[in-house]
Amino acid sequence: MAHQFVGVDAHKRSITVAVVDAVGGQLAAASFANSSSGVEEVMAWLPAAAPVLRGWGGRIIGARPASG
């Protein structure tokens, strides 16, 4: 199965998430509120947007808070 990668751009009020393939082709993208419910929406959206990631278990590899 092909590799997929997820990029997350978090800002003070929004979170934008993009799924790309191994050569950088965009497969899906969406924006969510930067809130507890927004994070829950991201986690619910990811399995359909990036089916290859189904076994990832919701682990976050690295993150830092947005400052602006």
18-36: pLDDT as tens digits: 998 888 899 999 999 999 8
Average of per-residue pLDDT values in the chain: 81
Look at phi and psi of residue 62 and say left if phi exceeds 0, alpha if psi is from -120 to 50, else beta: beta
Task: Find the mean pLDDT for residues 28-51.
Answer: 90
**Boundaries of every domain in the chain:** 4-56
pLDDT at 50 over 60: yes
Look at phi and psi of residue 60 and say left if phi exceeds 0, alpha if psi is from -120 to 50, else beta: beta
